Structure 1
């Protein structure tokens, strides 16, 4: 179970990352954020985003064109 959900389905890069960045600022340290996306490039984008920000990419799932990411705010 996640604390907050960002629905970025139908949006192309960089919008899913930008919405995620904004949402992460609004949650508390240790809380989780679920992101739903359809952009195929988002798999690489979210892995890079987590490395750059220091937040934890808890999971990344590809469900046949629909992607689900869970991030934990660490910074």
Structure 2
């Protein structure tokens, strides 16, 4: 699974980093994004909805949030 560290990056950088990485992946590939920007809670689901990707899970930790996504086809 691809992992993207966007901790410390502010909107819109986490989603831009995610979009760039996902563009290179085959349909069905899974990605984990780690981000601590509160706006990512809105931006990541919106990005998935607009781009046709599946948001598999959102897990909050003390320091950041982990988003698991599957690239749409």
Q: After TM superposition, is the score higher than 0.5?
A: yes
Contact 1:6 1:34 in 2 (8 A): yes
> Alpha carbon RMSD of aligned pairs, Å?
1.0
The runs of 4+ residues in structure 1 deviating greater than 6 Å are none
Q: Using the alignment, how far apart are the partners of 1:53 and 1:66 within structure 2?
A: 24
Question: How far apart are 1:61 and its partner, in Å?
Answer: 1.4
Q: Which aligned pairs between 1:57-68 and structure 2 lie closer than 5 A? A: 57-68=55-66
Question: Which consecutive residues of structure 1, in runs of 5 or more, have no partner in the other structure?
Answer: none
1:14 to 12, 15, 23: 12
TM-score (normalised: structure 1):
0.91
Q: How many residue pairs get matched? A: 73
TM-score (normalised: structure 2):
0.93
Question: Which consecutive residues of structure 2, in runs of 5 or more, have no partner in the other structure?
Answer: none
